Structure 1
Amino acid sequence: MATMFRVCFLLILISPALAVLCNPADKKALLQLKQDLNNPYLLASWTPDTDCCYWYTVKCDRKTHRIISLTILDSVPYTNFSAQIPPSIANLPFLDTLILHKLPNLTGPLPPAIATLTSLTYLTISWTNLSGPVPDFLAQLKNLQSLDLSFNNLSGHIPGSLSQLPKLTSLRLDRNRLTGPIPDSFGYFNSSPALLLSHNQLSGRIPASLANQDPTGIELQRNRLEGDAYMLFGPNKTTQTVDLSRNLLAFDVGRVEFPTSLISLDLNHNMIYGKLPEGLKAVDFLQMFNVSYNRMCGEIPQGGRLQRFDVYSYFHNKCLCGSPLPSCK
């Protein structure tokens, strides 16, 4: 009996502490955010009589109990989540992760309130119907390591100010409606982020300044880019994936020194000419390779991994020959 009494007494002492884990200001901010998002079913667990550290989609810091992560993901498309990102998002100043994903009825532009979340290291707003420009104010988020605004309806030019993000390791702006050139300032990132800018309407030449960068990957496919792409390559780079397919690029591939770190190289559907360089034989870990639908000529270098790819990786060129294509005459 005495033991049971002590256990009950301890539970009474502990339970108030458990009830107040959630910071009152954060709880108030989340309830306001829920209201501004039109009280979606996804946030049904957000009720005033429960601890916000245990709400669905929310994560608290274990020591401070401030809200540090908010992930709103609609796993059942086309539910009743219909809203714009409200200014009240700014009332969560300790957020280091904000993810809004697969919310097809999330509309409107990116609000300036996002710029006040200066603790953010991961910002993902993807697979929504967000529209308007990629705003300059994102450059104020100096702690960002990953910025993902893919699969939206964003339009206009890419702001060069994004190069002012000193810690960025990944930039995803793919599958939007962005136009204009790749900013020259992207050659001056401190951190050489992976650049995923594919499936837009980008035009002009790839800036020569990108020769200064050494990203793990660069995806520029399905745009309207012209001219040369030599600056993306080089013997001292450690880039692993490059996809430049379905553009208007025209350069002599024989003058390119490809990094031996390449795992995937896709140049199909351009106007690239010249002979494939012998240096490609030294790319030991190449797993995907496609240079079809170009204007290349000459014998495919024999050796390395180049004969592991079938004819479809090479066909529809001006006069490429040699295995796996027919032999040169």
Structure 2
Amino acid sequence: MATTMLRLSLLLILLSSVVSDKCNPQDKKALLQIKKDLNNPYLLASWDPNTDCCDWYTVKCDHETHRIISLAIIDSGPSNFSAQIPPSVGELPYLETLEFHKLPKLTGPLQPAIAKLTNLKYLRISNTNLSGSVPSFLAQLTNLTNLDLSFNNLTGSIPDSLSQLSNLGSLRLDHNNLTGSIPSSFGSFKSNPDIILSHNNLTGTIPPSIGNLNFTHIDLSRNKLEGDASSIFGPNKMVQIVDLSRNNLTFNLSNVEFPTSLTSLVINHNKVYGNLPQG
């Protein structure tokens, strides 16, 4: 009898350990490879292969499928690792949120494996030392609603193909070293995203096609943009916040029709003339 009870107890322990580990084995394998590629930082100390990865810090699993849907590696203190974005992030096919934030020693280009994450809705890689260009493969992530690549060292031009992101609600490429002009294709965004491109080295004019959009927030400040910006405005627009400061823009404010929704307008350090409407 005692032997039977012992065997039963051992069986229950084994079953409970199997049941408690909800994490998909392939997801766990990918996460452990990510940890290795990041040189096993202390931030990921909870990533123990003997525990359920759904319980790991910075990770979130779907309640029903138990697949990894969120990976948010954010360092609130001094970063203790130096690495590039691991290619193994592309082995988390159910990922909807991917964040690498406040990691000043994260270097290299945007990893092409990210293009495999077709379920991705929120991508933020910001406040890092990321370099290289804004890759055109991002246009393949058609479910994206938020794209934030701000506060990095990205260079080169902005790819026209970003306008193919039909669900995008917010685009942040500010605080980089981007050059070239704002793509005229941005006027064909279907989702009217807020556009934040400030603190770059963008040149040329603001494409008139931008007037096709009905965003609530646009920030093109601290670039080298020229010409007329009046297409941003209009009596039927929903725009609330506009910052065009510190460019070389030239247009007559008296000819601009401002929407009633506008709450903040910053246009200093340009060549803007004319009078603001009364009222």
**TM-score > 0.5, shorter chain as reference:** yes
Following the alignment from structure 1 to structure 2, what is the Cα–Cα distance between the partners of residues 56 and 82? 19
Which letter does structure 1 place at the counterpart of 2:215? P
Aligned pairs for 1:72-221 within 5 A: 72-77=73-78, 79-221=79-221
Q: Distance in 1 between matches of 2:218 and 2:18?
A: 49
Contact map agreement 2:23 2:52 (CA 8 A) in 1: yes
User: Following TM superposition, by how much is the alpha carbon of 1:17 offset from its aligned partner in structure 2, in angstroms?
Assistant: 4.9
Aligned 8 A contact 2:21 2:51 in 1: no
The letter of the residue matching 2:100 is L
Secondary structure of the corresponding residue to residue 210 of structure 2: helix
Give 3-state SS (helix, strand or coil) of 1:180's partner. Answer: coil
Tell me the C-alpha RMSD between the 2 structures: 1.7
Aligned position for 1:296: none
In 2: Cα distance, 1:30 partner to 1:191 partner: 33
Partner deviation per Cα, 1:247-278 (whole Å, 9 max, x = no partner): 10001110000111011111111000122223
How far 1:18 moved relative to its partner? 3.9
Question: Quick one: distance in 1 between partners of 2:232 and 2:272?
Answer: 15
Distance in 2 (CA, whole Å) between partners of 1:44 and 1:18 is 23
Between the aligned partners of 2:91 and 2:82, the Cα distance in structure 1 is 21
Partner of 2:261: 261
The whole-number CA distance in structure 2 between the counterparts of 1:151 and 1:121 is 20
Aligned length: 272
Any idea what SS the aligned residue of 1:201 has? Answer: coil
Deviation at 1:16, TM superposition (A): 3.4
- C-alpha contact 1:206 1:229 (8 A) present in aligned 2: yes
Letter matched to residue 43 of structure 2: L
In the other structure, the counterpart of 1:239 is: 239
Classify the secondary structure of the residue corresponding to 1:70. Answer: strand
What's the counterpart of residue 47 of structure 1? 48
Which residue identity is paired with 1:155? T
Alpha-carbon distance in 1 for matches of 2:127, 2:119: 24
Aligned 8 A contact 2:180 2:204 in 1: yes
Whole-angstrom distance in 1 between the partners of 2:277 and 2:254:
5
Deviating above 6 A after TM superposition, structure 1's stretches of 4 or more consecutive aligned residues are none
Cα distance in 2 for partners of 1:35, 1:14 equals 30
| Matched-pair contact (CA < 8 Å) for 2:223–2:247 | yes
CA distance in 1 between partners of 2:87 and 2:72 (Å) = 17
Looking at structure 1, the residues matched to 122 and 272 of structure 2 have their Cα atoms a distance apart, in angstroms, of 37
CA offsets, 1:56-78, max 9 Å, x none?
Answer: 0000000000000001011112x
5+ residue gaps, structure 1, are 282-329
Distance 1:217 1:82 in 2: 35
Partner of 1:20: 21
Q: State the TM-score, normalized to the length of structure 1.
A: 0.80
Shift of 1:111: 1.3
Task: Give the C-alpha shift of residue 20 in structure 1.
Answer: 2.2
Aligned mates of 1:110, 1:159 — CA distance in 2: 14
Residue deviations 1:25-79, cap 9 Å, x none? 10011011111111111111111111100000000000000000001011112x3
Q: What pairs up with 1:269-308 in 2 under 5 angstroms?
A: 269-278=269-278, 281=279
Query: Separation in 2 of the partners of 1:17 and 1:37?
Result: 28
Q: Which runs of no fewer than 5 residues in structure 2 stay unpaired?
A: none
Q: TM-score, normalised by structure 2?
A: 0.94
Of residues 133-142 and 265-274 in structure 1, the stretch that sits farther from structure 2 once superposed is 265-274
- Amino-acid identity (%): 67
Residue in 1 aligned with 2:64?
A: 63
Provide the rounded CA distance (Å) in 1 between the counterparts of 2:49 and 2:107: 27
Aligned to 2:225: 225
Tell me how far 1:14 sits from its aligned partner.
7.0
> Deviations along 1:151-191, whole A, 9 cap, x unmatched?
00000000010000010000000000001110000000000
Query: 1:327 — aligned with what?
Result: none
Q: What's the counterpart of residue 32 of structure 2?
A: 31
Q: Is the 8 A contact 1:42 1:81 kept in 2?
A: no
1:95-142: CA deviation from partner (whole Å, max 9, x where unpaired): 000010000000000011010001000000000000000000000000
- Aligned-partner SS, 1:273: coil
**Displacement of 1:13:** 8.7
CA distance in 2: counterparts of 1:50 and 1:16, whole angstroms: 9
> Residue 74 of structure 2 contacts residue 103 of structure 2 at CA under 8 Å; is this kept in 1?
yes
* Bigger-Rg structure (1/2): 1
